[in-house]
Structure formats: structure tokens, C-alpha cells
Amino acid sequence: MMTRATGIRTAALAAAVAMAVLPLAANQAPQAPQAQASPSQQRHGRLFPPEDLGLLESPDRDVWQKPERIMDSLGIADGSKVADVGAGGGWFTVRLARRVGPNGIVYAQDVQPQMLEAIERRVAKENLHNVVTIHGTPADPNLPEGSLDAVLIVETFHEIQSGNPRLFLENVRRALKEGGRVGVVDYKRGGGGPGPDGARPDPAAVEAVAREAGLRLLERETFLPFQFFLIFGR
């Protein structure tokens, strides 16, 4: 049984401990909230978040992206069979679908199911019936072998580089017909323009890994103001 004297000593000890702890707690700096990555940092640090797809739909994108000239350079015409690799929300997919017409086909490939769902909604809304979505992997876009006139890879190569780019491009090469072309479009280094502020693919590195994958550099197009555009063949 606790005596009155014992109770007094216990209370005094508890008070002393509390007085010693309070200054330590007061001196601890509050934890700063963790900074959130910008959408451009998110795209280059991991897969692009589907909830930010609107950022890829700027009203002036047609002006600086020049989709018609890109498709011309790849020889994409009525009846062509093409693939949009890393298609995202389908900005380029629908333009390809209009270009190839009802006699052609566009394979819209992405590794994120949410992106493919967004594309399916988009093409249904635009009444396009020549688009097939494909769920790829970081190593293989899962494109039909030997069947494509052109493969377009726009603003996606940084994600390919984070995996096995040589194997990925080997699988792209297998999907090409004889005479088929691959177009790689991504932001130029040095900043500027609508692209991300962070790391951007080195065109020389893209050329090197494409060569290792068995692709031949055909053209280095220079008409895009903010991006490089490399064209490869089998």
C-alpha cells in the first residue's frame, strides 16, 4: 500500500521528468511538408499520372507539334497500319486514325490500363473505328509482328530508357514491315518550350541503342521547334 510520503515522492519525480522533456520537445523543429513533384517531374520520375492527361492537351500543341508533317515524314497515308507507342490519352492516336482512314489501322499502345481506357472513350466519342488498344510491358509493346508501316514514339523514350530500351526497340523492329519506319520524337536538351524542366533523352543515346537493336538511322528531322525527331528503318 502506497504511503502519503511515497505518493509525494512519486508525484515529485513525475513532475521533474515532465519538466525535463518539455524543453526537448520545444526545441525540435517541426517537420516540413514533403514537396510535391510537378507534373513534368512526375512524368520523368515515373509513369505519367493519368489524372494529369489534360496537361498534354494544350490548345497550341498542333502548332508546335506539327503532327501532319511528322506523319508525312513517316510516309503515313490512307490505308497505313501504324502504332502509337506510349499513346497516353490518345492525342496523336486520333490524328493517326483520321490520316489512315477506314482502310488503315492504328494500334494505340500503353503500359497503363487507365490510359487505354481513356483512349477507348475518346475514339468512341469521335466515332473512330480503326483504333485497337494494346496493353504493353516495359520490355515489349506487344505489337503484331511484321505488320506495321510505321511506329511513332512521342515523348515516351525517357520511360523506355528506364527499363530495357534495346529489347524494347528490338520488339518494335520485329513489328515493322519491310520498309517500315520508326519515328522517335522527344524534347531537346537545354530546356525551353512546353517540355519538362528535368532530364530529357539524349538523341545520341537514342541513336546508339536503336543501332544496337538493329535499326538504321534514316533522317534527323529539324522542323520541330522544341523537339528532336529521329527516323529509323529496319
Say if CB 100 and CB 81 are below 8 A apart. yes
Collapsed DSSP state (helix, strand, coil) of residue 44: helix
Q: 61-120 pLDDT, tens per residue?
A: 999 999 999 999 999 999 999 999 999 999 999 999 999 999 999 999 999 999 999 999
What whole-number distance in Å separates Cα of residue 154 and Cα of residue 110?
Answer: 12
Model pTM score: 0.77
Instruction: Give the residue from 10, 21, 131, 139 showing the smallest Cα distance to 82.
Output: 131
Which residues contact residue 89 at a Cβ distance below 8 angstroms, ignoring those fewer than 6 apart?
50, 53, 56, 57, 115, 118, 119, 122
More confident residue, 198 or 12: 198
| pLDDT at res. 56 | 58
Task: Give me the mean pLDDT over the 130-150 stretch.
Answer: 97
Q: Please list the alpha-helical segments (H only) found in the chain.
A: 4-27, 39-45, 61-65, 67-73, 91-100, 113-125, 157-161, 165-175, 203-212
What whole-number distance in Å separates Cα of residue 141 and Cα of residue 171?
Answer: 7
Which residues contact residue 229 at a Cβ distance below 8 angstroms, ignoring those fewer than 6 apart?
70, 73, 183, 184, 185, 220, 221, 222, 223
CA distances from 15 to 10, 33, 55, 105 (A): 9, 33, 58, 79
Q: How confident is the model at residue 48 (pLDDT cuts 50, 70, 90)?
A: low
| pLDDT at res. 214 | 98
> What is the residue extent of each domain of the chain?
56-233
Q: 155-174 pLDDT, tens per residue?
A: 999 889 989 999 999 999 99
CA 119 to chain centre: 15
Please, what is the end-to-end C-alpha distance for the chain in angstroms? Answer: 92
| pLDDT at res. 17 | 35
What whole-number distance in Å separates Cα of residue 45 and Cα of residue 234?
Answer: 31
What whole-number distance in Å separates Cα of residue 76 and Cα of residue 155?
Answer: 19
Question: What's the CATH architecture for 56-233?
Answer: 3-Layer(aba) Sandwich (3.40)
What whole-number distance in Å separates Cα of residue 127 and Cα of residue 166?
Answer: 36
Query: 165-175 and 203-212 are packed helices; what angle lies between their axes, rounded to 10 degrees?
Result: 60
Say if CB 80 and CB 104 are below 8 A apart. yes
